């Protein structure tokens, strides 16, 4: 078979490990041929591809980013986009696609399969860990470790200067990174999009922390919102999937805390640092296993499915199930972190 591979949406550590596993197993054990589509759905839309054989995937296991490039192109938002993809795949003799992506990329994959009959197998990735139907996505563990290390470092400088330090992490609708990194890094307050926060209560935690000889560290997810009002968004640029570019909650909070408590407060926005660089062992192994199982799914004609981690097993789930709703941090789980607030 001739299979196209693409990586879409925000990149994350582990994408190259997944591509390598797909190609190594597919070529050496199953006799498939691969076409690497560039920049997510833009590749098949514009017939922009590159060779993807064993020599091309040598040495890429530990490398961050994606050798295929990525974009947030949405073929359903382009005039005649879906028909162009079908025609380009037929022209290139491509029998099916392995789409590696998050919520948006895999939602496109699900629709292409359901509505157009295009053969697609999905592989879930995102640092946000917000895809339903899989216990973890790769990229998440690396992002959490980067954020945890930042929190560890912020603790020592916050204590030296008796300052409140706020660290803003990614997480548009789900606070998984904030929750895990905050718990692992001993944050004094964690704020997530799933639960609106009360600024007065945050200031109480700040005051309580200063009663010890230590300074407070606040971890805030970029999508977190205060009770009674959304602060101004970073800017109002929308991407092809209609998402506003976030960022800015930490700086808003910085002003509020300083004004209400009189304590010097500074914000650090981790941003894309969380998505770059080499993957952790956990993410390399998960990405590799997802890649191997995606090739099995192709071989057995299980189109319209996605690889998923369930416990320690990799299973296949329907793409429609995986993309129907986001996986958010449950209230009871968040309660476990609240024990350490203040």
> Looking at the annotation, which residues are catalytic?
128
**For residue 136, how many other CB atoms are within 10 A of its CB?**
16
Q: Give CA–CA dist 222/247, Å, rounded.
A: 6
Among 39, 104, 128, 168, binds ligand F6P (CB under 6 A): 128
- Is 192 an interacting residue with respect to ligand F6P (CB under 6 A)? no
User: How would you classify the pairing of strands 120-124 and 217-221?
Assistant: unpaired
Among 171, 175, 182, 193, binds ligand F6P (CB under 6 A): 171
Among 7, 126, 145, 318, binds ligand F6P (CB under 6 A): 126
DSSP-assigned states of every residue in 84-106: HHHHHHHHTT--EEEEEESHHHH
- Is 123 an interacting residue with respect to ligand F6P (CB under 6 A)? no
Give the range of 123-131, 151-159, 228-236, 309-317 binding ligand F6P by CB under 6 A: 123-131
> By three-state DSSP, how is residue 240 classified?
coil
- Is 219 an interacting residue with respect to ligand F6P (CB under 6 A)? no
- Is 254 an interacting residue with respect to ligand F6P (CB under 6 A)? no
- Is 172 an interacting residue with respect to ligand F6P (CB under 6 A)? yes
DSSP-assigned states of every residue in 10-33: S--TTHHHHHHHHHHHHHHHH--E
Among 5, 89, 110, 127, binds ligand F6P (CB under 6 A): 127
- Is 323 an interacting residue with respect to ligand F6P (CB under 6 A)? no
Output DSSP code: residue 288.
H
Report the residue number, 177 or 294, with the smaller CB distance to ligand F6P: 177
Tokens of 108: 């496109």
Tokens of 323: 């993309």
Residues found near ligand F6P in the complex (CB under 6 A) = 9-10, 102, 126-128, 170-172, 222, 246
């Amino acid at each position: 078979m001739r299979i196209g591979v693409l990586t879409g949406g925000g990149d994350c550590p582990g994408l190259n490990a997944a591509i390598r596993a797909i190609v190594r197993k597919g070529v050496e054990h199953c006799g498939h041929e691969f076409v690497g589509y560039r920049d997510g759905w833009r590749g098949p839309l514009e017939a922009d591809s590159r060779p993807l054989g064993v020599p091309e995937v040598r040495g890429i296991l530990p490398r961050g980013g994606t050798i295929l490039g990525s974009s947030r192109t949405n073929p359903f938002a382009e005039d005649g986009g879906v028909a162009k993809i079908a025609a380009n795949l037929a022209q290139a003799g491509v029998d099916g696609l392995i789409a590696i992506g998050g919520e948006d990329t895999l939602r496109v994959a699900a629709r292409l399969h359901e509505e157009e009959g295009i053969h697609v197998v999905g592989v879930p990735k995102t640092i946000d860990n917000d895809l339903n139907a899989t216990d973890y996505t790769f990229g998440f563990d690396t992002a959490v470790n980067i954020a945890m290390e930042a929190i560890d470092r912020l603790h020592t400088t916050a204590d030296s200067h008796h300052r409140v330090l706020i660290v803003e992490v990614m997480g548009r609708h789900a606070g998984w990174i904030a929750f895990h990194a905050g718990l692992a890094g001993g944050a004094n307050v964690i704020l997530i999009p799933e639960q609106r926060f009360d600024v007065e209560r945050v200031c109480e935690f700040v005051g309580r922390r200063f009663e010890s000889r230590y300074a407070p560290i606040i971890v805030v997810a970029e999508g977190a919102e205060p009770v009674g009002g959304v602060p101004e968004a970073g800017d109002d640029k929308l991407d092809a999937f209609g998402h506003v570019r976030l960022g800015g909650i930490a700086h808003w909070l910085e002003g509020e805390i300083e004004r209400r408590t009189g304590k010097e407060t500074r914000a650090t926005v981790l941003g894309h640092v969380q998505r770059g660089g080499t993957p952790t062992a956990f993410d390399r192994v998960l990405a590799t296993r997802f890649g191997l199982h995606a090739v099995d799914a192709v071989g057995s004609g299980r189109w319209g499915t996605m690889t998923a981690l369930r416990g320690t097993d990799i299973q296949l789930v329907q793409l429609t199930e995986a993309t129907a709703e986001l996986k958010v941090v449950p209230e009871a789980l968040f309660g476990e972190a609240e024990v350490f607030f203040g």
